[in-house]
A and B are shown apart, each in its own frame.
Chain A
């Protein structure tokens, strides 16, 4: 089936762009923490620094870009307008920025309980705004071709609600309010956040954007329709098994999640292999993302201690799968938004308008991919040899993300310069 876009409903550039431009700055923060503190940041996944870096990546980068992309994607692909998109986006952005800084600061530097209270409140409100905006849009009638996308977004949004609820409870617990089994709840919180929100949503979006922008065949309808609900059901089953301490059931459900993710990666890599078109840098970002998804599944079955295994699997999902896919999409979306909104301005003389490929040329994106790949390799080695690799991993990660900030920031500055009267 042909995928088509409805740009008539495209929001103003000021709706998605702040999310997409701010997000990489949080990766820079996490990378500098790793470079500064070195192996201390990787002693275990429970150290304050590790928890701070994790939330800089998951909230500051992954959630920030995903939410910005949803404000852009839902009207365009599903043909559903988000009510009050401008104010809702501004509130979501403020909440995510402030909440990420408060929570990462409170976790990393052991700040007073008031900071945990504030972080839980601000992030809870941001989540409420995001879920209300997305929910209001998804409650409307959508184009039939967009039904799998909408279903996937609904389930991912439900996972986000679970993640925020559990995260808020944990933040209040850390502030000294109430008693709970923090280890179990953190596991459940992380699993819903990473698999139910980040992986499920990235996969749902990829069902639309990979065939469209990479020229591959469309995904099998079975995978497209059933991957999000299958993951959602498995997450429920896994949470129940984890809370009940049923190790056998938990292992069986984990095998189910592994099979679903491996099937998705295999179909995606197979569609790239079958494609006749020459690969571009966007292809390399997706291939890296899929390779990391496969490795994250395999690492889960390696005979390592549970802490190292969790660190490696988390890094593979956050830095390897999601960040690779998102970086590749940012190199497509941001220059396109700049070019498109400049083209829409009849007051701009045509000779002043840049060509799309000159806004951020492919060479720059390829350079970022190479540095990102090296940073990723060092980061994956760091939990195994932290004394040697932790600081270089942080430095390479910082440099790779600085390249992305420079390229995206350059595109935004070009837009502002050309729009100036």
Chain B
């Protein structure tokens, strides 16, 4: 595992109904140690979250997985 990977905090919000995934992500971001990234496993692409992330100075990237879910990576700019 690279040094960078040790600074990733995982969060699985699959199976939750909207808007619960967004609430969990925002809670996790509030407690995220400086320099860490949040990796989220989620059922749907979380469009609502993007505007909040942008306004609060986070950048994100998202990848579709073979099982239909998405992997979202969020970090502070």
Interface pairs (21), CB distance under 8 Å: A2-B44, A2-B68, A3-B44, A4-B44, A4-B47, A5-B18, A5-B44, A6-B47, A7-B51, A8-B47, A10-B48, A212-B18, A214-B17, A277-B17, A340-B19, A344-B55, A345-B55, A346-B56, A346-B57, A350-B30, A356-B23
Is A213's CB within 8 Å of the partner chain B?
A: yes
Task: Give the distance to chain A from B24, nearest Cβ to Cβ, in Å.
Answer: 11
Q: Which A residues touch B18, using CB under 8 A?
A: 5, 212-213
B47 engages A5 (CB within 8 Å) = yes
Is A336's CB within 8 Å of the partner chain B?
A: yes
B19 engages A215 (CB within 8 Å) = no
Is A355's CB within 8 Å of the partner chain B?
A: yes
Interface residues of A in 169-227 (CB under 8 A from B): 212-215
Is A361's CB within 8 Å of the partner chain B?
A: no
Alpha-carbon distance between A2 and B18 when the two chains are bound, in angstroms: 13
Q: Which B residues touch A214, using CB under 8 A?
A: 17
Is B52's CB within 8 Å of the partner chain A?
A: yes
Interface string of A1-36 (1 = CB under 8 A from B): 011111110100000000000000000000000000
Alpha-carbon distance between A399 and B28 when the two chains are bound, in angstroms: 40
Alpha-carbon distance between A284 and B46 when the two chains are bound, in angstroms: 27
B17 engages A355 (CB within 8 Å) = no
Q: How large is the interface on B (under 10, 10 to 19, 20 to 34, 35 or more residues)?
A: 10 to 19
A340 engages B55 (CB within 8 Å) = no
Task: Give the distance to chain B from A226, nearest Cβ to Cβ, in Å.
Answer: 26
Alpha-carbon distance between A10 and B49 when the two chains are bound, in angstroms: 12
B contact residues vs A (CB 8 Å cutoff):
17-19, 23, 26, 30, 43-45, 47-52, 55-57, 68
A343 engages B50 (CB within 8 Å) = no
Q: How many residues of A contact B (CB 8 A)?
A: 23
A7 engages B56 (CB within 8 Å) = no
Alpha-carbon distance between A8 and B52 when the two chains are bound, in angstroms: 10
Task: Give the distance to chain B from A73, nearest Cβ to Cβ, in Å.
Answer: 14
Alpha-carbon distance between A350 and B45 when the two chains are bound, in angstroms: 24
Q: Which A residues touch B68, using CB under 8 A?
A: 2
B47 engages A7 (CB within 8 Å) = yes
Name the residue of chain B whose CB is nearest to the CB of A214: B17
A contact residues vs B (CB 8 Å cutoff):
2-8, 10, 212-215, 277, 336, 339-340, 343-346, 350, 355-356
Name the residue of chain B whose CB is nearest to the CB of A3: B44
B55 engages A355 (CB within 8 Å) = no
Given A2-B68, A344-B52, A346-B56: A215 in contact with B17 (beta carbons within 8 A): yes
Q: Which B residues touch A345, using CB under 8 A?
A: 55
Task: Give the distance to chain A from B40, nearest Cβ to Cβ, in Å.
Answer: 16
B51 engages A2 (CB within 8 Å) = no
Q: Which of A213, A340, A350 contacts B17 (CB 8 A)?
A: A213
Given A5-B18, A213-B17, A350-B30: A344 in contact with B51 (beta carbons within 8 A): yes
Greatest chain A CB density within 10 A among B19, B26, B43, B68 is at B19
Given A2-B43, A212-B18: A7 in contact with B23 (beta carbons within 8 A): no
B45 engages A4 (CB within 8 Å) = yes
Q: Which A residues touch B48, using CB under 8 A?
A: 5, 7, 10, 340
Alpha-carbon distance between A7 and B52 when the two chains are bound, in angstroms: 10
Alpha-carbon distance between A355 and B44 when the two chains are bound, in angstroms: 22
Given A2-B44, A343-B26, A346-B55: A336 in contact with B50 (beta carbons within 8 A): no
A10 engages B17 (CB within 8 Å) = no
Q: Which B residues touch A277, using CB under 8 A?
A: 17
Task: Give the distance to chain A from B61, nearest Cβ to Cβ, in Å.
Answer: 16
Q: Which A residues touch B47, using CB under 8 A?
A: 4-8
Alpha-carbon distance between A90 and B56 when the two chains are bound, in angstroms: 30
Given A2-B44, A212-B18: A8 in contact with B56 (beta carbons within 8 A): no
Task: Give the distance to chain B from A233, nearest Cβ to Cβ, in Å.
Answer: 34
Alpha-carbon distance between A336 and B20 when the two chains are bound, in angstroms: 11
Q: Which of A3, A4, A8 contacts B50 (CB 8 A)?
A: A8
Q: Which B residues touch A212, using CB under 8 A?
A: 17-18
Task: Give the distance to chain B from A343, nearest Cβ to Cβ, in Å.
Answer: 5
Q: Which A residues touch B50, using CB under 8 A?
A: 7-8
Given A7-B48, A7-B49, A213-B18, output 7 extra A-B contacts at Cβ < 8 Å: A2-B43, A5-B18, A5-B48, A7-B47, A277-B17, A344-B55, A346-B55
Alpha-carbon distance between A35 and B38 when the two chains are bound, in angstroms: 57
Q: Which B residues touch A5, using CB under 8 A?
A: 18, 44, 47-48
Name the residue of chain B whose CB is nearest to the CB of A347: B55
Q: Which B residues touch A355, using CB under 8 A?
A: 23
Alpha-carbon distance between A7 and B22 when the two chains are bound, in angstroms: 12
